[in-house]
Structure 1
Amino acid sequence: MRPILILAALILSLPVAGHAQALDDRKGWQVVPTPHSFADLVQRVETAVKAEGMLLVTQASASAGAKGRGIDIPGNRVMGVFRNDYALRMLEASVAAGIEAPIRFYVTENTDGTATLSWKTPGAVFSPYFEEGGQPLEDLAFELDLVFLSIAERAVASE
């Protein structure tokens, strides 16, 4: 009888499908609410990435996929950002760390029509590999922390 009660309690505690939770600060993340619309923030991130000399190497959007199926959900886009010279330095320090590249920005649409820019800091992303990758990987992560912060600052800045 107890396993059934535990299962029922677990089911009742699960989030309701379609009821998205707002992003909030979490360890290793930067979360920046903005006054910009979702579409505008996506464009601003693309522009900022180029301005900082980085490359947008991947993109994925569940909301775009859902829209293609006739389903409307709040906008979201994952934007993978990296550059080959960083990739070579990363791999020289730790081949295992390569699974983490590209490092991603996450643009999410808020219920009030604004959007939030979030990302895991490169330092947090690469920290599990610091013992293996040593100081070269730590230096790379610190350098990328600054690059990602600059991209974010450009993207969220007022006109």
Structure 2
Amino acid sequence: MKALATVFSLLALPAWAQEPLAGWAVYPSVKSYDELIDATKAAVKENGLIVVTQAGPTKAAAARGITIPGNRVIGAFNNDYAVRVLETSTNAMIEAPIRFYVTENDNGTATLSYKTPSFVFAPYVFEGGEALKEIAAELDNKFQAVAESAVK
């Protein structure tokens, strides 16, 4: 019974409260949820990417009378990368835009996380080859720069 209680208590923690999931980059911050969203969008633009999509359940849940922690997915990419990825693998484009994930913490701060582009595009390397690996590595650097800028 004690083992079962331990399992349930671990399930209640955010995934990155322990170790980040494989392929994820996690950046805790001292910024509030709203501040980190704004900083992430600004850093995306500063690093030559475009915010392509945004989605999150927080406002819709509030409209239904349900309070949940802040939760926003921000998809970032640009047309140059889209064209280059398509030259290597049509199938890989299903992964674009690559997403940042902003989550609100219990203490009022927020965390920025994302799956690294190399991890996201890894299943398509058999098709896209070295060119796709190079694009993913470039995007790894851009996403890291966005995250570091957003959380500082």
TM over 0.5: yes
Identity level (%): 51
Contact 1:78 1:107 in 2 (8 A): yes
Give 1:32 shift.
Answer: 1.2
CA distance in 2, matches of 1:146, 1:21: 29
Partner of 2:140: 145
Give 1:23 shift.
Answer: 3.2
Contact 1:63 1:75 in 2 (8 A): yes
Instruction: Pick closer, same or farther for the CA change 1:45–1:136 going to 2, 3 Å.
Output: same
CA distance in 1, matches of 2:109, 2:12: 15
Q: Normalized against structure 1, the TM-score is what?
A: 0.86
Partner of 2:126: 131
Instruction: Pick closer, same or farther for the CA change 1:132–1:46 going to 2, 3 Å.
Output: same
Partner of 1:27: 22
How far does the alpha carbon of each residue in 1:48-75 deviate from its partner, in whole angstroms, 9 at most, with x for none? 0111111000000111211121211000
SS at match of 2:137: helix
CA distance in 2, matches of 1:154, 1:119: 14
Give 1:22 shift.
Answer: 1.5
Counterpart of 1:120 (choices 110, 115, 135) is: 115
Which residue identity lines up with residue 121 of structure 2 in the other structure?
A: F
SS at match of 1:31: strand
Structure number, greater radius of gyration: 1
Instruction: Pick closer, same or farther for the CA change 1:125–1:37 going to 2, 3 Å.
Output: same
Contact 1:23 1:31 in 2 (8 A): no
Give 1:20 shift.
Answer: 5.3
Which residue identity lines up with residue 85 of structure 1 in the other structure?
A: D
SS at match of 2:15: coil
Counterpart of 1:40 (choices 35, 40, 46) is: 35
Gaps of 5+ in 2: none
How far does the alpha carbon of each residue in 1:98-132 deviate from its partner, in whole angstroms, 9 at most, with x for none? 11000000000000110000000000000000011
CA distance in 1, matches of 2:51, 2:145: 15
Instruction: Pick closer, same or farther for the CA change 1:71–1:51 going to 2, 3 Å.
Output: same
Q: Number of paired residues?
A: 145
SS at match of 1:81: strand
CA distance in 2, matches of 1:66, 1:57: 23
